[in-house]
Amino acid sequence: MNLAVLALAYARRRPLSTLLNVLLLAVGIATITLVILVSVELETRMQREAQGIDLVVGAKGSPLQIVLAAIYHADVPPGNIPLAAVLDLRRNPLVKEVIPLAMGDSFRGYRIVGTEPSLLTHYGTKLGAGAVWQAPMEAVLGSEVARVSGLALGGAFAGSHGLAEGGGDHGEAPYRVVGILAATGSVVDRLVLTGIESVWAVHDAHGHGGGGNHDDRDRQDAAQRPAASGAADHAHHGPHEKADPDDAHPEVAEHADREVTLALVKYASPVAAASLPRAINEKTVLQAASPAYESARLFTVFGIGADVVRALALLLVAASTLGLFVALTQALEERRHDLAIMRALGATRARIAGVLLLESLLLTGLALVLGLAAAHVVAANVGHWLPAAASLASGAAHWHREEIWVVALALAAGIIATVLPAWRAYRLDVAATLAEG
Amino acid sequence: MFALTAIEHRYDAALVLRVDAWTAATGDHWLLSGASGSGKTTLLHILAGLTVPTTGSVSVGGVNLASLSGSALDRWRGRNVGLVPQRLHLVGALDVLGNLALARYLAGLPVDAARARELLDAMGIGEFARRYPRQLSQGQAQRVAIARAVINRPALLLADEPTANLDDGQAEAALDVLRRQAEAAGATLVVASHDARVRAALPAVHALPPRAAVPA
């Protein structure tokens, strides 16, 4: 016999109301925890992907779009930029490193990115097998791409036109797998990397002799953009066209100068942050975008949504605290005689109050365990219900420091609900209660 | 064993109880008699340290209860007093053994299931050990309440109207159990009752005057 046994005996006596209170509190706790899991995971992910990249340049257009396309590979890029402008940037003394990215095609929904091996160095990515590309049409697969496609070293595949699935095949220009990257947990896992020359080669080939589907699409493009004189001519890019993946690579062959899509820039010194973005925006055909600024802006927008959900969850917790308070107050009324006889049997006032507090904390603790477990299970399985959010599941496996606040919140709820009933139990008039009929 | 001296108890300034002097020796069996409302329950609560009289001194087992306060008084009560309230107040969430275990636990004593079973067997209710209070008859519940009062071997056993609601046979049996358990525990027994059937069983009587007769 101890207070916990007694508290359990009381809880067992009213299983339905006990269960209801525990579940209500657990749902509130699970919602808050889920919001924390998702937002923390998103934030760390966004920061990690952007780490070390001070600036992104692309065609004139939305800075947010440029950052999303270049770092998170989430949005389509606004257009192409002349390679010459990128090379100019590389010669700028304020710039330490420039990594060009050429996009336009995809393989089973995974983007094919033409770049330089320095991208691998930047992400700290190691090859799991094979080697880095040396010649055009040699490709290195991200770990997820390799796993999902089942392609092995030496395997061949053709890119599809456009960044989404369903574009026409570049069947005439197959890639050959020369390397497979080790898993990093970053966006690189979901990329196909190759030399920039490969991307040029694919589109050169199609420009000179390609046919079928692809050409039809090009004619449509031409109809939509009759005056298109170059990718840098952003004035002709209507908002609705941004969603058209073809925008990502106006035909390279039409221009003598080579083009790329985006470039990642690292500063040589912090001074660059003050002058370089403005200089790029005002004096070149390029648009500069700061990943830190743009992702913070994006997160602010997302944060409002998270705050709304969090507020609702807090409301749930508050409601269940009230429910717990009502249940405990009712229990106190029903148990006045029990508490009085316990005092007669030698229990001190503090112990009587402790019975109620312990009971409340047992229920709260149960709700806490259920709520935290539910949140982690939901987060771990989110990919099954929402494939787009699958990458968030990795956050479910470990505990986040922010969850300590959920624990504190639950315990606070349990204590707040108990204060008044416990105080009344403490003040109970034993003799009068025992004597009353 | 206990000595009450110049006790007066007022409730909202009205005098509800006066005991000039009452002393009992260890092992005594007393009847505390008086009409309804004469203050019998209040006097039992004073002896148990549940009620502090407005004036006067209470000494039980050589302890002046006024010298104990708060939690010390609670602990003293748990170890030294067994109380059988008129309305039994068994804890409904616990079975019979659980109620006995609770009495041990709250007095700070180790739970002794063997003694609890022995006690229940001796009182003829061993078979109800796993029943809950609502599953017991009035007579059975009364025995459980008595068992709960004596399980800690108190020095002072107090019973409030133990024969109310019982027929003659049950009343006699309840008194018999109380006396035998008090003897077994070496306890001083005080039974508060206005029941004439109790008077025959307990020759030593402290009679309280009806409240109207208490001079203000």
- Residue A172's pLDDT band (boundaries 50, 70, 90)? low
A17: which 2 tokens?
């109301």
Pair A155, A176: CB distance under 8 Å: yes
To 10 degrees, the CA torsion angle through B112, B113, B114, B117? 130
Report in angstroms the alpha-carbon separations of B180 from B93, B140, B150, B173, B186.
Answer: 29, 17, 11, 10, 10
Pair B76, A323: CB distance under 8 Å: no
CA-nearest residue of chain B to A351? B106
With an 8 Å Cβ cutoff, is A437 touching chain B?
Answer: yes
Q: Which residues of A touch B101 (CB under 8 A)?
A: 1
Sorted by sequence, the CB contacts under 8 Å of residue A116 that are 6+ apart come out as A99, A100, A195, A196
Report in angstroms the alpha-carbon separations of B62 from A338, B14, B73, B150, B173.
Answer: 30, 30, 14, 20, 32
Q: Which residues of B touch A354 (CB under 8 A)?
A: none
In order, the DSSP letters of B13-78 are TEEEEEEEEEEE-TT-EEEEE--TTSSHHHHHHHHTTSS--SEEEEEETTEEGGG--THHHHHHHH
CA gap A276, A261 in Å, rounded: 19
Q: Which residues of A touch B92 (CB under 8 A)?
A: 13, 338
Choice between A147 and A243, residue whose per-residue pLDDT is larger: A147
Choice between A271 and B31, residue whose per-residue pLDDT is larger: B31
This prediction's pTM: 0.69
Indicate if the pLDDT at residue A354 is higher than 50: yes
Q: What are phi and psi of A83, to 5 degrees?
A: -60, -35
CB atoms closer than 10 angstroms to residue A21: 27
Indicate if the pLDDT at residue B105 is higher than 70: yes
Mean pLDDT of A418-433: 91
Q: Position of tokens 């925008």?
A: A247
- Residue A233's pLDDT band (boundaries 50, 70, 90)? very low
pLDDT of residue B123: 85
Distance from CA of A334 to the nearest CA of B (A): 10
pLDDT of residue A386: 65
Closest CA relative to residue A159, chosen from A248, A237, A223: A248
Distance from CA of A183 to the nearest CA of B (A): 57
- Residue A390's pLDDT band (boundaries 50, 70, 90)? low
B84: which 2 tokens?
């059988």
| Cβ-nearest to B71 among A6, A337, A350 | A350
With an 8 Å Cβ cutoff, is A341 touching chain B?
Answer: yes
CA gap A352, A17 in Å, rounded: 22
B71-110 in b/e burial notation, b at 16+ Cβ within 10 A? eebbbbbbebbbbbbbbbbbbbbbbbbbbbbbbbbbbeee
CA-nearest residue of chain A to B145? A341
| Cβ-nearest to B89 among A337, A346, A350 | A337
| Cβ-nearest to B85 among A1, A346, A434 | A434
With an 8 Å Cβ cutoff, is B180 touching chain A?
Answer: no
Mean pLDDT of A334-342: 91
- Dihedral angle sign, alpha carbons of residues A419, A423, A426, A431: negative
With an 8 Å Cβ cutoff, is A340 touching chain B?
Answer: yes
The amino acid at residue A299 is F
pLDDT of residue A55: 93
With CB atoms and an 8 Å threshold, state whether A9 touches B93: yes
Pair B164, B85: CB distance under 8 Å: no
Q: What are phi and psi of B187, to 5 degrees?
A: -95, 150
Stretch 253-272 of chain A: residues touching chain B, C-beta under 8 Å: none
pLDDT of residue A168: 65
- Residue A254's pLDDT band (boundaries 50, 70, 90)? very low
